[in-house]
Structure 1
Amino acid sequence: MTAPHCVLVVDDEKQNRELLTELLHDECRVILAKNGFQALERASEQQPDLILLDVLMPDMNGFEVIQRLKNDDRTRHIPVIFVSALDSPSDEERGLDLGAVDYIAKPFHPPIVRKRVRNHLLSVHHRRLLENLAMIDSLTEIANRRRYDTQLESEWRRCARSGSPLSLMIIDVDHFKAYNDNFGHAAGDQILRSIALTMSGQVGRPGDLVARYGGEEFAVLLPLTERHAARLMAEELRGRIEDLHIPHPHSPVAPVVTVSIGGMTLVPKGGQVLPELFDGADAALYVAKREGRNRVVWQEN
């Protein structure tokens, strides 16, 4: 595990928090909460990899906390281990029924707790590796359509909450079929890889995403980016790809491989992704193709 994992320890007793911190500090980064309300707040903000949760706490007990965690899209995926003085089989059964991945009774044996935490963090690591693989396009090794859809939903909600602009560009390789027909699909695949690598090198802010949308079409998602800046980025990408000077003698547009780009910028409203962002960018792409290709067209809104 290359990056340190984060574990949230929730316990109303200071001594227990200190003990678990001392026990785990070599294994992971530990953050603390002394009640259920703090636990919910820090779980949402910090997105820990694992939560160690006491049951017997004032105001909101651990069973109530896990129910709220599992009912929130932002925290439902975080695994929870109960660490509790309630050690009856019925208490353990209730905790597991509510979605906990493990239940450790107090007083606990420190080496056992350390090993259980290590095993659960390893499971988190392996699960994320598999999830990441499922989000990568196997040909170009950039984000795939599934990752794009997931990121769009997340950034749409984030921009809607802050009233910030969200920009999208759709990129299409000009006369790609003619290239494939004359040079073969292996050569066409190399074109797609080269374009993906070039775009990924130019788009690198947190939240920005370059994805293969399908076939010879790519999508670039630019949250917190207003129209003028996004259009400048699109012009930069178009020029960079043309400057690769990949011969395309069968293109009526230029003697090298070029792309057409359509884009749109809007300020999202509400938590549900509306089709107008993609539809606007796609309509702009159609105009770019109709007007001669190898150009950027940005949709007015």
Structure 2
Amino acid sequence: MERFAPYRHGRPKLLVVDDQSLNIRVLHQLFRDECDVHMATSGEQALNVCQELLPDLILLDVMMEGLDGYQVCQRLKEIPATRDIPVIFVTGKSDEDDEAKGFELGAVDYISKPFNPVVVRARVRTHLTLKLQNDYLHALAMLDGLTGIPNRRAFDEHLAVAWAQACRDGRPLSLLMIDVDHFKKYNDHYGHLQGDQCLQQVAQALASVLHRPYDLLARFGGEEFAGLLPDTDESGALQLAQRMQAAIAELELEHAASDVSDRLTLSIGLATMRPTPLGSADQHLSYADEQLYRAKHEGRNRICAHFYDE
């Protein structure tokens, strides 16, 4: 079998879902040399594995006890983190209505049992290649062109996923809204080219403070940045915000036009809450924005924080 193109995260991850162990063994044997093959033997298990693993492709049996393949596919498409994972149905049913139902639910292909290994390989290869291309284009669309960090669109997508996860786990979620103090005056004084260079330095300094893979710093717009800190209480988020201010202070960027200091400074608004289905991610973000407004109103170059109960 010809090798797949390299994935940015290693070999492609393939999830095989079937309640018949023989079918799983056959498909595992077929793809183990080219993919990291993971297995689930029920619909419920498949949903749990998908949210943890985030596979690149799912081979999903239709006829299973409990949740069948159609129900699993429908659930996957309802979850932001898994809705874009391509699903290929593998089934002994060959009725056109069944195929149509699968495509309506969002499947990308339909393979009938008993399957031809050559056909299965070709179709899996095609959809993994398409997934890689889509991932690459999606990654480009999620980056800010000036600073190279995630953009507002990326932040919104990650916030939706983090909010849903925090609701399920009952864990705290903290958001930061970060503003470069008097940046318009900086641009007016030093020029837009140096202003762009300033934002690039600020973005890299702020990003260097984040060490967990699921934390996110994004350029929110203009001179504003946003931080997403899953499973982080107010104390932990406050410490991180303080390290961000320290990182900017270490840059010692001159700001002769500032009313706050002769060096570049930040104002940061911090909001922490334990999300519930009764609340919303947008409301949480507005709370962080309220704290940023408070920090600016109270004189800038400071952090204002609050814990909000739903």
After TM superposition, the score normalised by the length of structure 2 is 0.86
Match of 1:49 among 44, 56, 65: 56
Q: What is the one-letter code of the residue matched to 2:218?
A: A
CA deviation map 1:83-129 (0-9, x unaligned): 23334555444433443211223333323321211111111111112
Match of 1:174 among 166, 176, 181: 181
Is residue 2:117 matched to residue 1:110? yes
Q: What is the one-letter code of the residue matched to 2:232?
A: T
Match of 1:299 among 303, 306, 310: 306
Distance 1:60 1:294 in 2: 54
Where does residue 249 of structure 1 map in the other structure?
Answer: 256
Alpha-carbon contact 1:6-1:28 (below 8 Å) kept: yes
After TM superposition, the structure 1 = structure 2 runs for residues 1-301 of structure 1, keeping only pairs within 5 Å, are 1-2=7-8, 3-58=10-65, 61-73=68-80, 75-87=82-94, 89-270=96-277, 272-273=279-280, 275-299=282-306, 301=308
Alpha-carbon contact 2:80-2:161 (below 8 Å) kept: no
Q: CA deviation at 1:65?
A: 4.0
Distance 1:200 1:228 in 2: 19
Q: Secondary structure at the match of 1:262?
A: strand
CA deviation map 1:256-299 (0-9, x unaligned): 21112222222222264255533333333233323332222223
Q: Secondary structure at the match of 1:103?
A: strand
Alpha-carbon contact 2:273-2:307 (below 8 Å) kept: no
Do the aligned partners of residues 165 and 83 (structure 1) sit closer, same or farther apart at CA in structure 2, a change above 3 Å counting?
A: closer
Unaligned runs of 5+ in 1: none
Distance 1:285 1:97 in 2: 45
Q: What is the one-letter code of the residue matched to 1:192?
A: L
Distance 1:298 1:95 in 2: 48
Q: What is the one-letter code of the residue matched to 1:227?
A: E
Do the aligned partners of residues 65 and 273 (structure 1) sit closer, same or farther apart at CA in structure 2, a change above 3 Å counting?
A: closer
Distance 1:68 1:274 in 2: 21
Q: What is the one-letter code of the residue matched to 2:197?
A: Q
Q: Secondary structure at the match of 1:299?
A: strand
Alpha-carbon contact 2:80-2:160 (below 8 Å) kept: no
Distance 2:112 2:215 in 1: 44
Q: Secondary structure at the match of 1:160?
A: helix
Alpha-carbon contact 1:283-1:299 (below 8 Å) kept: no
Q: CA deviation at 1:73?
A: 4.8
Q: Secondary structure at the match of 2:208?
A: helix
Unaligned runs of 5+ in 2: 1-6
Distance 2:147 2:172 in 1: 28
Distance 1:280 1:69 in 2: 31
Alpha-carbon contact 2:31-2:37 (below 8 Å) kept: yes
Do the aligned partners of residues 26 and 233 (structure 1) sit closer, same or farther apart at CA in structure 2, a change above 3 Å counting?
A: same
Alpha-carbon contact 2:217-2:228 (below 8 Å) kept: yes
Q: CA deviation at 1:231?
A: 1.4
Please tell me whether Structure 1 or Structure 2 has the larger radius of gyration of its CA atoms. Answer: 1
Q: What is the one-letter code of the residue matched to 1:125?
A: L
- What is the CA RMSD across the aligned residues, in angstroms? 2.4
Alpha-carbon contact 2:182-2:258 (below 8 Å) kept: yes
Equivalenced residue count is 301
Do the aligned partners of residues 96 and 223 (structure 1) sit closer, same or farther apart at CA in structure 2, a change above 3 Å counting?
A: closer
Distance 1:274 1:62 in 2: 31
